[in-house]
Chains A and B, each alone.
Chain A
Amino acid sequence: NAGVTQTPKFRILKIGQSMTLQCTQDMNHNYMYWYRQDPGMGLKLIYYSVGAGITDKGEVPNGYNVSRSTTEDFPLRLELAAPSQTSVYFCASSKGQDGSTEAFFGQGTRLTVV
């Protein structure tokens, strides 16, 4: 019963490097999300997707890109890493359209940009 799986768990990037954070879920959820968690700031929505082939910006999308080619996968791309992107990233998925159902979260990716 894997749920939402994120890789890697930890990563150190140099300024200007690129990377992709992987996220996959095995619950056949249509809705998927990427959040970042900064100390004392709660979680901020980066991008979300309501189904394969459909993505949209959240609250803090600058510096990131996403794609959703399958229901299961929702990778997050950082093209030119900056120190401001040092954060913990969480992928989540949910079944419900009305938000009253539970969102399931991955264990997170701790990213440091130096």
Chain B
Amino acid sequence: GDSVTQMEGPVTLSEEAFLTINCTYTATGYPSLFWYVQYPGEGLQLLLKATKADDKGSNKGFEATYRKETTSFHLEKGSVQVSDSAVYFCALHLRGSSNTGKLIFGQGTTLQVKP
């Protein structure tokens, strides 16, 4: 079935370190891909998205490129801050005849950034 797999956390980094959170997917169709972020005590909010192969989504210094050949959508940031500490979710949506907007999520990766 369709699924999303993320690297296990927690990921602990020092401030200004480089961040990569791996995400791979399995899909029967041609999905749109998303990264959502959940700050402590809050709901999820969209961080970035990409809707077709080779698209790069970017926001707040985070980037992810839709790689169809490797079925991946890895999240990167060049220099993390303490305020980036959160849980990050990779998700996909399958396009097709039953478009309902429902998302399939990975298990989430907790990022802790230390000063």
Quick check: is B83 within 8 A (CB to CB) of the other chain? Answer: no
A103 & B99 in contact (Cβ 8 Å cutoff):
no
User: CA A105 – CA B101 in complex, angstroms?
Assistant: 13
A99 & B107 in contact (Cβ 8 Å cutoff):
no
Q: With CB as the reference atom, state the residue of chain A lying closest to B32.
A: A100
A41-B107, A42-B89, A100-B32 are contacts. A48–B100 as well, Cβ < 8 Å? yes
B101 & A43 in contact (Cβ 8 Å cutoff):
no
A90 & B32 in contact (Cβ 8 Å cutoff):
no
Quick check: is A74 within 8 A (CB to CB) of the other chain? Answer: no
Quick check: is B82 within 8 A (CB to CB) of the other chain? Answer: no
A99 & B43 in contact (Cβ 8 Å cutoff):
no
B100 & A105 in contact (Cβ 8 Å cutoff):
no
Least CB distance, A88 to chain B, in whole angstroms: 10
A90-B43, A107-B41 are contacts. A96–B101 as well, Cβ < 8 Å? yes
Least CB distance, A66 to chain B, in whole angstroms: 14
Least CB distance, A92 to chain B, in whole angstroms: 8
Interface size, B (range): 20 to 34
Which residues of B sit under 8 angstroms from A42, Cβ to Cβ?
A: 4, 89, 105-108
Interface size, A (range): 20 to 34
Quick check: is B77 within 8 A (CB to CB) of the other chain? Answer: no
A106 & B93 in contact (Cβ 8 Å cutoff):
no
A42-B89, A43-B89, A98-B95 are contacts. A103–B105 as well, Cβ < 8 Å? no
A4-B43, A105-B43, A105-B44 are contacts. A99–B94 as well, Cβ < 8 Å? yes
Q: With CB as the reference atom, state the residue of chain B lying closest to A94.
A: B101
20 examples of A-B residue contacts, CB within 8 angstroms: A4-B43, A31-B101, A42-B89, A42-B107, A42-B108, A43-B44, A45-B102, A48-B100, A48-B102, A98-B93, A98-B99, A98-B101, A99-B32, A99-B94, A99-B100, A100-B32, A105-B43, A105-B44, A105-B45, A106-B43
Spell out A's residues near B (CB within 8 Å).
4, 31, 33, 35, 40-45, 48, 50, 56, 58, 90, 92, 94, 96-108
